[in-house]
Structure 1
Amino acid sequence: MGGIAANGLSFMEIGEEHLAEVVDIYNYYVLNTTVSFHTVPLDSASMRESVLSGDPRFKSYAILQDGEMQGYVLIARHKNKQAYDTSGEISIYLRPGSGGQGLGGKALSFIEERASELDFHVLVATVCSDNEPSRRLFTRHGYEQSALFKEIGNKFGRWLDIASYQKII
């Protein structure tokens, strides 16, 4: 799903063939940053559960630049209760070194379009307050901060806040 743009950017639904790269990208953030609140790297089985849900509405997509994976974007279940079925939680993870090229904004636009096609009403993104690039990305694209949870996680010996951003699409 998704077309190839003039600049060689495309989005492809994640399959088994992408799983090892997805694990590598995500585990970089686990081991080196506060972007993920996991403290132990995920294995392929755990990552498979996250990105290959089997639900036709909650999908993950590889971000490809000239055929090479630069990251992934996903829309996941926000809460597992029926009244939330029109809300989705979105995440974007870029390969280290791929930031600053506009890929995050293009991935966000792509996943918003997919969410609209799938009749989502609200998208939510939750980011560590330390993650200034993600906070700027979401606010630049019309997301409003809707929550702030102080000292909700502890990683690398530090208490960390998370902020939730939402957009009605």
Structure 2
Amino acid sequence: MSDDIAAEVSFSEIREEHLPQVLDIYNYYVLNTTVSFHTEPLTLPVMRESVLTGEPRFKSYAIELGAELQGYVGIARHKNKQAYDSSGEISVYLKPGCTGKGIGEHALQFIEKRAAELDFHVLVATVCSENERSCRLFLKNGYERSAYFKEIGTKFGRRLDIASYQKIIGRMQV
């Protein structure tokens, strides 16, 4: 991403007014790609619950360039067991047409900084293995492939693999 564009990209917590666009972005991937393993479009109430969790550490953020929403990035609970509280699962979704411009990398850097401020130790991202662009994004930014599950999902009549990438961002404080 050019320095000019990077300086113009901003992040803010997702608010109610962002939800229709966030839903459209996510449902595009549901209906047209293997980026999401949902096979049916989400509804506005389901998306609201997903990105407006009310939990102080698990939040989603709008990615904006100027006044236009480019996508969103978030930290979700990795597993619902207390021992995992220092780990977060991250996601980045960009509007179609906004990929390949460096916005995803900028979003990843933002969410890592935010996660460190919230005392996360490990970040995990799980992606469909055929989503080569996301796989490259995580590897390029210091994530290691830590798991690979073959034929774990089925979408569009095909069996799909997933890969998990992780990055240790904090020092262990027990």
- Using the alignment, how far apart are the partners of 2:125 and 2:81 within structure 1? 18
- Using the alignment, how far apart are the partners of 1:25 and 1:108 within structure 2? 18
1:117/1:28 CA distance change after superposition, 3 Å: same
- Using the alignment, how far apart are the partners of 1:18 and 1:158 within structure 2? 33
List per-residue Cα deviations over 1:12-60 (Å, max 9, x = no partner). Answer: 1001010000000000000000000000000000001110000000010
Identity %: 73
Q: Structure 1 residue 116 and structure 2 residue 128: aligned? A: no
- Using the alignment, how far apart are the partners of 1:59 and 1:135 within structure 2? 23
- Using the alignment, how far apart are the partners of 1:158 and 1:145 within structure 2? 23
Structure 1 residue 6 displacement after superposition: 6.4
List per-residue Cα deviations over 1:128-163 (Å, max 9, x = no partner). Answer: 000000000000000000000000000001000000
| Partner in structure 2 of residue 75 of structure 1 | 75
| Partner in structure 2 of residue 23 of structure 1 | 23
In the superposition, the TM-score normalised over structure 1's length comes to: 0.96
Amino acid at match of 2:48: R
Assess if the C-alpha contact under 8 Å between 2:148 and 2:161 holds in 1: yes
| Partner in structure 1 of residue 44 of structure 2 | 44
The structure 1 segments of at least 4 consecutive aligned residues displaced by more than 3 Å after TM superposition are: none
| Partner in structure 1 of residue 159 of structure 2 | 159
CA RMSD of aligned residues (A): 0.9
**Between Structure 1 and Structure 2, how many residues are aligned?**
165
SS for the counterpart of 1:27 is helix
SS for the counterpart of 1:58 is coil
- Using the alignment, how far apart are the partners of 1:7 and 1:32 within structure 2? 31
Amino acid at match of 2:136: R
- Using the alignment, how far apart are the partners of 1:139 and 1:66 within structure 2? 28
- Using the alignment, how far apart are the partners of 1:101 and 1:59 within structure 2? 24
| Partner in structure 1 of residue 137 of structure 2 | 137
Q: How does 1:49-128 map to 2 (within 5 A)?
A: 49-128=49-128
Gaps of 5+ in 1: none
In the superposition, the TM-score normalised over structure 2's length comes to: 0.93
Structure 1 residue 7 displacement after superposition: 3.2
- Using the alignment, how far apart are the partners of 2:15 and 2:160 within structure 1? 33
- Using the alignment, how far apart are the partners of 1:75 and 1:7 within structure 2? 23
Structure 1 residue 67 displacement after superposition: 1.3
